[in-house]
Amino acid sequence: MDFALTQEQRMVYEYGDRVSQRFDHKYWKAYAEKSEPPAELYKQITDDGFLGIMVPEAYGGAGQGMTEMLLFMEGLANNGIPLLNLVVGPTMTMGLLAKHASETMKRRLLPGGCSGDIKFCFAITEPNAGSNSMEITTIAKPDGKGGFRMTGQKVFITDANRADYAMVITRTTPRSDVKKKTDGFTIFMVDMKKKGISMTLIPVAFPVPETQWQVFFDDVPLTEDDVLGEVDKGFGILFDTLNPERIILSGMCTGIGRFALKKAVAYANDRKVFNKTPIGAYQGVQHPLAMARSEIEMASLMALKAAWAFDQGQPAGEFANIAKYAGAEAGIHAVDAAIQTHGGNGFTKEYGIYDLYGLVRLLRTAPLNREMVLNYIAEHVMGLPRSY
């Protein structure tokens, strides 16, 4: 067992420290409060070759894996720069394209994705399906001319308004017409400029640069060239994007947790209330911070294990789900402990701690809620009977 990062992995991880010397948390926060993408930061990341971490070099990428993508996210979040768009674009969409797209589709989409000229979003969640993706009703029906017509709607689609292409999970055979509930799924790469696509903004209650959208597809024309993988067999490759999503979000949570704890420690070492003693000397302050740090590092290790298993082509579902659960809980506990350490200052704009709580709290609920994660662990890992 070797827990050491390679030199290249260490460089990826430390990139967050380097780039945050120019683009810090206050920079990120300014864009978050405007719900606008931090354009200069994304340009720097793109120029430095980090959008295509999971894309082979032949298509303009770095030829690395899930482990490096996780380390990249963690390195940024450690410095208070969590970027949800890196989840839906470079990780979920470009990672899946690199593994499963046809050569033609790779050549068409991946170089532009790596250069930042093509932006992606990922669309699976629906208003009436939620966590039960088996019941999605968005459907692409054959048009009798070798193509398809897609109709339906998706919800909570990150940065749909800025995407050039959406990776859309649909049915091409209705649920009622298949024997296995996992049959009949097809993944399409949909040009968001096509006729029949509209969207409405979903305002969220906490500051982030990314925006959330409900997207409507009304008889949108598609072709065989838009299919990722095979028609009716999309479910077989779907978890090659859902497991990475859970892994990288765990890294986002642990990074945010480290950032919050770092601020809490600095404050606790400086703040004096009684007898000119820093409040950090009191165990009532120390212990919650130490517990949170322990949880953060345990979650981080599980995320690395999940990423390693994914990169090795081994089953990663168990580790990815545990990492997502552990990361979200650890992130919440860390931010909460940091708020408490700051006292009243923890709720002010000046100290910027409370602003992080909404994001880590979201990740207990989305993209897969804690209860469904625990259901997976109970049923598929521990062998308990299915309850739903």
Q: Which tens digit of pLDDT belongs to each residue from 1-13?
A: 889 999 999 999 9
Whether pLDDT at 196 is above 90: yes
- Local confidence band at 48 (pLDDT 50, 70, 90 cut-offs): very high
Q: Which tens digit of pLDDT belongs to each residue from 13-26?
A: 999 999 999 999 99
DSSP state of 5: P
d(CA 112, CA 60) in angstroms, rounded, equals 8
d(CA 243, CA 318) in angstroms, rounded, equals 9
Q: What is the pTM of this model?
A: 0.96
- Residue 209, CA atoms < 13 Å, CB-side half-sphere: 22
Average pLDDT (42-66) is 97
pLDDT of 166 reads 98
Whether pLDDT at 39 is above 90: yes
pLDDT of 71 reads 98
Residue 321 and residue 373 in contact, taking contact as beta carbons nearer than 8 Å: yes
Query: Domains of the chain, with CATH numbers?
Result: 7-119 (1.10.540.10), 121-232 (2.40.110.10), 235-381 (1.20.140.10)
Tell me: cis bond preceding 174? Omega within 30 of 0 counts.
no
pLDDT of 387 reads 86
Average pLDDT (114-136) is 94
d(CA 172, CA 230) in angstroms, rounded, equals 11
Question: Cα-atom radius of gyration of the chain, to the nearest Å?
Answer: 21
Whether pLDDT at 35 is above 90: yes
Whether pLDDT at 49 is above 90: yes
The distance between the two most distant Cα atoms of the chain, rounded to a whole number of Å, is 82
pLDDT of 154 reads 98
d(CA 379, CA 381) in angstroms, rounded, equals 6
Looking at the DSSP assignment, which residues form a beta bridge with residue 320? none
d(CA 293, CA 154) in angstroms, rounded, equals 37
pLDDT of 107 reads 98
- Local confidence band at 148 (pLDDT 50, 70, 90 cut-offs): very high
Q: Which tens digit of pLDDT belongs to each residue from 80-97?
A: 999 999 999 999 999 999
d(CA 368, CA 131) in angstroms, rounded, equals 7
Whether pLDDT at 130 is above 90: no
- Local confidence band at 304 (pLDDT 50, 70, 90 cut-offs): very high
Instruction: Tell me the torsion sign for CA atoms 64, 226, 367, 316.
Output: negative
The chain-wide mean pLDDT, for the chain, equals: 96
Count the neighbouring beta carbons within 10 Å of the beta carbon of residue 177: 9
Whether pLDDT at 388 is above 90: no
pLDDT of 117 reads 98
Average pLDDT (287-297) is 98
pLDDT of 81 reads 97
Residue 188 and residue 158 in contact, taking contact as beta carbons nearer than 8 Å: no
Closest CA to 263 of 118, 138, 79: 79
